[in-house]
Structure formats: C-alpha cells, structure tokens
Amino acid sequence: MTVTTTTPQRTTGQPAGPDRPGLPGSPSDDLPDDLSVWPASTAELPHADLSVGGVPLTELAERFGTPTYVLDEAEVRARCRAYLRAFPDADVLYAAKAFLCRAMAHWVREEGLGLDVCSAGELELAVTTGFPPSRIVLHGNAKSPDDLSTALRLGVGRIVIDSTSEIARLAAAVPAGSRQQVLVRVVPGIAAGGHAKIRTGTDDQKFGLSLADGSAQHAITRILGQPRLHLVGLHCHLGSQITTVKPFLSAVRRLVGLLARIQEQHGVTLSQLDIGGGHGVAYRPGEAAMDIAALGAKVRAELAGGCAAAGLPVPRLTVEPGRAIAGPSGVALYRVLSVKRTGEHTFVAVDGGMSDNPRPALYGVRYAPRLVGRRSSAAPAPVSVVGRHCEAGDVLAAGVRLPGDVRPGDLIAVPVAGAYHLSMASGYNLVGRPPVVAVADGQARTLVRRESLADIQGRDIGL
C-alpha cells in the first residue's frame, strides 16, 4: 500500500536516533506529544494521527486490524549501522531472541551483522532464510541434544559452552576429523541490569561458569583437553537494560585478567572476547538509554589498554545487541474495548494484553501509550491500560495519562514495542498472536501473519 502523505519533520520532543544518549531528567507521563522514543521516521499528521515509515497508523490499524506490531525497517537498518560505526573491526551479532523472523534475519545480514541464536528453531529459521551459518553463534544455558546436533549439522560458527556437562556431550557429537570452535561463558561477578530477573552477570543465577569459584577455569582446562573442541575465546553477558558503560569496562578488565591466566597456565592465547549485549533503551521520554558510540569507544580503549598491560594481543571483540536494535523500531497498535471507572481508578481495556506483551507483568516495565487518530480537547487523566486476559496482573501500562474522554473504539499506540513482544507472546485464553507489519518508504507489508483460530485448532489433534 503506497501512501502519498508528505512526511514532515518532527515538531515535538527530541530528535531520535540510535546514538543519542538518554535524555536528562526523570521520566514523565505528562508528555504525550514527545516523540523522542518513537522511530525516527515518526511524523505528526492531521487529526492527531501519526505516521511511521511514511504510513499513517490509523491506516495500518484499518488494514491489518489490532493488535498489530509495526516494525520500521529503516530504523532497524539505521541501528545496525550505528553499531558497526561504534564497534569497527568487531563482530556485531544481532540477538535473535529479541525478535526474529525471516525479514529481520535478511535485514541484519544485509547490514553486515552476524546472528546470536539460542535454539535449533532460531538457527533453522535463519539458515533457511540464507543466513551464513559461519556468522552465527549458538548459546543457551541448557542446550538440548537437538540444538547441538542441528548446530553441528548446519556448521554454526561458534558454540558457547555454558556448563561443564556440555563439554563432553558436545565433544562426543562433533564428527571425527572435525573441530568445533567454542567460547566459554564466564560469570564475572558484576551486578548490572534493569531488574533482578534480567541480571545475568552474578553468581546467583543459572547462566555461565563462575570466575570467583574457579568453575570457569576448570571448564577451560577440560575443553583444552578435548581434541574435537577448539577454544577460541571467552563470553559473558551481564544482563539487560544496562544504561551505563561502567559495568562493561569492569567485565573487560576481569576477562582480560582471565585471558592472561590462561596464557600463563596453558600457553594458549585466545583470539576472541564476546561481551554480550543488554544495552538499555528508553521506553518513556526522559528515561536513560545506553550511548552506543560512547560504549564502543570506551570498551575498545579499555580492551586495548588492558591487553597491552598484560602483554597480550588484543582479541577480536564481539557484541550482541538485540533490544537496542529491534525495540525502538517497533510500535504496537490496540483498540480500546471498554473504559471502566472504579473508585479513583480508571481502567482502559484494550484488545491485547499479556499474551502479546508479558513484560509489564514479568518485570514491571512501563510504557508511554498514546491516543492516535482522534484529537481530544479533554484534559489528560491518569489511567491504567489493561489487557483482555483473566489475570489481575494483565496491565500494559499503569498510571499513565490519556485524554479524559478516551472511549471504546479509540486507537492506542505504544512505542518501543519491537523487542520481547512477539518473541515472548503466548496462547493464553487461545487469543491468537498478532501479526508483524513492516513499514518503509510509505509502503506496508506483512512479515508475520496473524495467528488464526484455525492455526490454534490445527494443533489440537486428540480427543
């Protein structure tokens, strides 16, 4: 669908962009016209409508229905390029767990990124789309036999060892005469991340091998004794929604120290260092976001300085952004089904909920929904945007401000909805998962179709 609407420049808020650091001040729900967390292509149209990628949101809702995820292709590509500028001479891997479909794999491959996958399913989808397996890294804390056999069959570039039990299983599966490149996931003992449930750099969670108790060093020794495994480097992932550079610099220092001990004890110089992702984005105007350019410059300087002091060659750096590429590139569209005022509370119920976005229920994440397609003169009032599911915790946005006359049939748009929405969506209440629609240059097309009742019933084959 081609749209002839002229796309004006932003007239409110701060300029968006993948290199822009977080805005100063505290988040506010009193800035409904602030477009700073929306895709850079977002423009204001008459009748309080917005366009993304040159396509009006009201038009997308009419054509594709709601709920619908909208993904701005240009924003995805711009964010990929920003990472390549920030990390020259490094491997930038898109973290597929944030959101993966065939088009997404195609876009990131065209932009020169590799891919980080966590299952045979993600791996198969990427490879059958044409993604070179040599540019894919497989990791996960509990890889199944199918995950490992698929990785070996397809020729995945590197596999991240996450536990000692994985070493022998993987070595036994590697064909005779072959060697599989592996990394060891190290837990460096650094607490970072926006919520306790998404902090993975400390010893009190399920991922990786501890540096503090010697588990990482023990695993390294065992791997070096396996002729079918080729240890090429170290891996770590500190957590998600990290908005400051300091934790990554601490991780680099600790991992360089481990590289030096490996060289001293085993006479082996490892050539790769993967510091994971977890770079934070702003979900609401005023929230902090990781400054990617600053991160790249400071991490590279820390790595070069640490290696020089230790007498080591500088290993090739790898980073794994997911949310920071997909998240701000997406918008979720909902229709209001009911408005209920109970005491001092107003609940605005929409036609989606925790089945298409479980993150508020899991982590207490807060969004900045906006009424689009209808200009209102009513004063903003505090409401909770809630979902349609049979859970009191099915809340998409609590304590936000929408026009006081919000009513059934209104269209609500939620920015920063490109990551961990569809990838974490469920079939709760047998509500089908929404489609994903790409927008670019005034055109819209379906990337992932809406899950129908027929799809759901087709899986149920027994009586």
Are 319 and 92 within 8 A, CB to CB?
A: yes
pLDDT at 198 over 60: no
Q: What tokens were used for 333?
A: 């569209």
Residues 119, 298: Cα–Cα separation, whole Å: 32
Sign of the torsion formed by the C-alpha atoms of 238, 242, 246 and 249: positive
CB 56 within 8 A of CB 49: yes
CATH 2.40.37.10 residue ranges for the chain: 43-72+327-457
- Annotated binding-site positions for substrate: 323, 359, 363, 391, 420
| pLDDT above 90 for 462 | no
Domain covering 74-325, topology: TIM Barrel (3.20.20)
The confidence score (pLDDT) of residue 18 equals 40
Per-residue model confidence as pLDDT tens digits over 271-281: 999 999 999 99
The CA-based angle 268-318-127, given to 5 degrees, is 105
What is the predicted pLDDT for the residue at 277?
Answer: 94
The model's confidence at residue 193, banded by pLDDT at 50, 70 and 90, is low
Q: What is the pLDDT of residues 138-187, one digit of tens each?
A: 999 889 999 999 999 999 999 999 999 999 999 999 999 999 999 999 99
Nearest to 108 by CA among 89, 87, 88, 130: 130
Cα gap 195→12, rounded to integer Å: 31
Binding residues for pyridoxal 5'-phosphate: 278, 320-323, 420
Torsion of the alpha carbons at 422, 427, 68 and 400, rounded to the nearest 10: -80
pLDDT at 200: 46
CATH of 43-72+327-457, picked from 3.30.1330.40, 3.40.50.920, 3.40.640.10, 2.40.37.10, is 2.40.37.10
Range of lowest pLDDT (112-121, 186-195, 200-209, 410-419)? 200-209
Neighbours of 238 (CB within 10 A): 24
Q: What is the predicted pLDDT for the residue at 206?
A: 65
pLDDT mean across residues, the chain? 90
Give tens-digit pLDDT for 393-403.
999 999 999 99
Reading the block at residue 358, the tokens are: 């479980």
Q: Where in the chain is the domain with CATH 3.20.20.10?
A: 74-325
Biggest CA–CA distance in the chain, Å, is: 73
pLDDT band at 261 (very low <50, low <70, confident <90, very high): very high
pLDDT of residue 31: 47
Contact 43, 7 (CB under 8 A): yes
pLDDT digits (tens, 9 = 90+) for 405-450: 999 999 999 999 999 999 999 999 999 999 999 999 999 999 999 9
Is 285:368 a contact under the CB 8 Å cutoff? Answer: yes
Distance of alpha carbon 82 from alpha carbon 132, whole angstroms: 22
**Residue 36 near residue 16, CB atoms below 8 Å:** yes
pLDDT at 192 exceeding the cut of 80: no
- The band of 33, judged by pLDDT with boundaries at 50, 70 and 90, is confident
Which residues are catalytic, by number? Answer: 390
Residue among 452, 429, 345, 347 nearest 396 (CA): 347
Q: Which residue has the higher pLDDT, 14 or 73?
A: 73
Please answer whether residues 237 and 207 qualify as being in contact, where contact means their C-beta atoms are separated by less than 8 angstroms. Answer: yes
CA distance linking residue 370 with residue 59, whole number of Å: 16
Quick one: pLDDT at residue 374?
A: 95
Residue 114 CA to residue 242 CA, distance in Å, equals: 22
315: tokens are: 């290993």
CA–CA distance, 38 with 289 (Å, rounded to integer) = 13
Instruction: Provide the pLDDT for residue 2.
Output: 34
Cα(99)–Cα(241) distance, rounded to whole angstroms? 16
Binding-site residues from annotation: 278, 320-323, 359, 363, 391, 420
Pairing of strands 330-342, 380-386: unpaired
| Token pair belonging to 79 | 């964010």
Lowest mean pLDDT of 183-192, 244-253, 260-269, 366-375, name the range. Answer: 183-192
Dihedral (Cα; 258, 264, 270, 272), 10-degree rounding: 30
> Average pLDDT of 71-87?
98
